[in-house]
Each structure stands twice: as structure tokens, then as C-alpha cells.
């Protein structure tokens, strides 16, 4: 049967076609437009006009992949480390370029998602987070281990979680370069944000100040890394490149502190 040209259809016929093909058959606007001799934007505008729910980009892409019309852009493909790093830095830059309004919107969305979780789900997530913090305090965070690996690869002598006795106080240095007398501390969010409450933050900051004073008093130099964001290899590489510059600056000095951040 010869199909009517889209422009010759009544609104009722158009609505029935869109409801049937867009919702039931999961056809794209482009497919429907091609079948009825019109253009995709016309189909989209009519879908809005008739109150038909438009699939979001993620759902549309999923349907295209399932139908076989599109191939997955990354599945089964191997990327070099260089390509991965460039992609990671691009994603990182996109996040840091978000406006305050966009960031606020994403925070609200995340907060709503959290509030919609059951009490059991919240308890499981909180428990897992607390466990991860305890484990990282013993074996090192991902960023610490990444930096340790890179330093060793570049020929540095490194002592990991080095314990020092300073003024009858037992301290642990995250990463210590003994031939240079350089201490490296990786400060996660709990060192500058009230992650575990205001009292815990005050205790952490007081301890950090004491530790800095004791290290400098022993004639060591100190590099503090402020880790503000979640771990990613791209961001870790950014930190490491900054760290190497800081080491070059600080290695011939004593009683010196340099702070770096995990931001572009």
C-alpha cells in the first residue's frame, strides 16, 4: 500500500503514526521522516506538539545500538595509553569548565538520587566508603600508589608510608625521597573539607600543621598534594607532572613547603 505523504496526513493520523512507530517500534525521527517523505525536525516538532515523550540521547543511542544501525564506538577497540590520557584530560577539562549554575544543577541531581535511595542502600554505600577509607589509610590511596609507581619508574629512591620518630612523636610520611630529604603528603578531602564533620576537620588540620612543623624542623622539605577530585589516571598524571616540577624546585632547599593541586 502506498503511504500518504506526511504533509497530507491529518493531525490525528500523524499522532497515531508517531505513537506507534516512535514508542512501540522504537524508530528514530530520521527513520519515520524517511518513510513518510519529510524531515526529522518536522517529526520532532510534531512529537512535542502532540505531547509524545521524546527519548533522551542516551536511550536513543541504546536503541540504535540494539537495532544494529549503529556500531558501538569503543566496544572491542584497544586504545593506546597516550589516547586514553588525552581523552581523560579532555573529560577533566569539560568538568572544570562547567559554570557554577551547571555544577549546582549536577549537585542537585546527585542529591536527589541519594535521597531516592532506600535506607539499606544508603547504609551499604556509607559502610563501603568507610571501609575504603580505612583500607587506603593502611595500604595507600590510588593516587599514592600511582605516584609511587611513577617515581620508581623514573629512577627515584622512594620509601612508602615511611615512619619517622620526631620529637617523641611517631609520624608516617606518605612518600619519602631519602636521598633528597623530601617528604610528600597526599591530602584527601577530609584534610580541608568537613567530610566527617567540623570537629574531625579541625583535628585533621591541627595534626597537619603539627606534622608540617616537625618535618621542617628536622630539615626536610615538604610537598603537599591537595586531592580535591575523584581519582582518574588522567588527573593522577597531571598531579605527577606537577610533582616532578615541585621536586626540581625543592630538592636543593631545606625547610621549604610547596603545595600543588589536582586541577588544570
Q: Is the pLDDT of residue 176 over 90?
A: yes
Q: Residue 152 and residue 150: Cα distance in Å, rounded? A: 5
Where would I find the H helices in the chain? 11-18, 29-35, 40-49, 57-67, 81-96, 100-115, 119-139, 142-153, 198-217, 233-250
- The predicted pLDDT at position 1 comes to 47
What does each C-alpha distance from 55 to 23, 35, 66, 100 come to in angstroms? 9, 19, 15, 27
pTM: 0.63
Domains of the chain: 7-67 (no CATH), 81-137 (no CATH), 138-261 (3.40.960.10)
At 72-111, the pLDDT tens digits run 556 666 777 777 777 877 877 887 788 888 888 888 888 8
At 153-164, the pLDDT tens digits run 999 999 998 887
Burial class (CB in 10 A: 0-12, 13-18, 19+), 173: buried
Q: How many CA atoms lie within 13 A of 136 on its CB side?
A: 16
Q: Is the pLDDT of residue 16 over 90?
A: no
- Give the relative orientation of helices 40-49 and 11-18 as an angle to the nearest 10 degrees: 100
Amino acid at each position: 500500500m502506498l503511504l500518504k505523504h506526511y504533509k497530507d496526513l491529518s493531525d490525528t493520523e500523524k499522532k497515531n503514526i508517531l505513537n506507534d512507530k516512535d514508542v512501540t517500534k522504537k524508530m528514530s525521527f530520521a527513520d519515520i521522516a524517511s518513510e513518510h517523505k519529510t524531515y526529522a525536525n518536522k517529526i520532532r516538532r510534531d512529537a512535542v506538539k502532540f505531547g509524545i515523550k521524546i527519548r533522551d540521547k542516551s536511550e536513543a543511542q541504546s536503541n540504535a545500538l540494539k537495532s544494529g544501525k549503529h556500531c558501538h564506538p569503543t566496544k572491542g577497540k584497544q586504545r593506546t595509553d597516550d589516547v586514553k590520557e588525552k581523552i581523560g584530560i579532555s573529560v577533566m577539562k569539560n568538568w572544570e569548565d562547567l559554570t557554577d549554575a551547571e555544577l549546582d544543577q549536577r549537585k542537585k541531581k546527585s542529591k536527589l538520587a541519594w535521597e531516592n535511595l532506600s535506607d539499606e542502600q544508603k547504609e551499604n554505600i556509607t559502610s563501603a566508603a568507610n571501609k575504603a577509607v580505612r583500607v587506603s589509610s593502611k595500604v595507600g590511596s590510588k593516587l599514592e600508589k600511582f605516584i609511587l609507581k611513577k617515581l620508581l619508574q623514573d629512577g627515584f629512591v622512594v620509601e612508602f608510608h615511611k615512619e619517622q620518630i620526631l620529637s617523641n612523636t611517631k609520624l608516617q610520611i606518605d612518600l619519602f625521597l631519602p636521598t633528597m630529604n623530601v617528604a610528600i603528603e597526599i591530602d584527601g578531602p577530609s584534610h580541608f573539607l568537613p567530610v566527617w564533620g567540623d570537629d574531625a576537620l579541625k583535628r585533621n588540620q591541627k595534626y597537619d600543621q603539627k606534622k608540617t612543623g616537625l618535618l621542617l624542623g628536622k630539615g626536610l622539605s615538604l610537598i603537599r598534594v591537595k586531592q580535591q577530585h575523584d581519582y582518574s589516571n588522567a588527573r593522577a598524571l597531571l598531579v605527577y607532572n606537577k610533582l616532578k616540577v615541585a621536586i626540581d624546585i625543592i630538592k636543593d632547599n631545606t625547610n621549604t613547603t610547596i603545595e600543588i593541586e589536582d586541577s588544570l
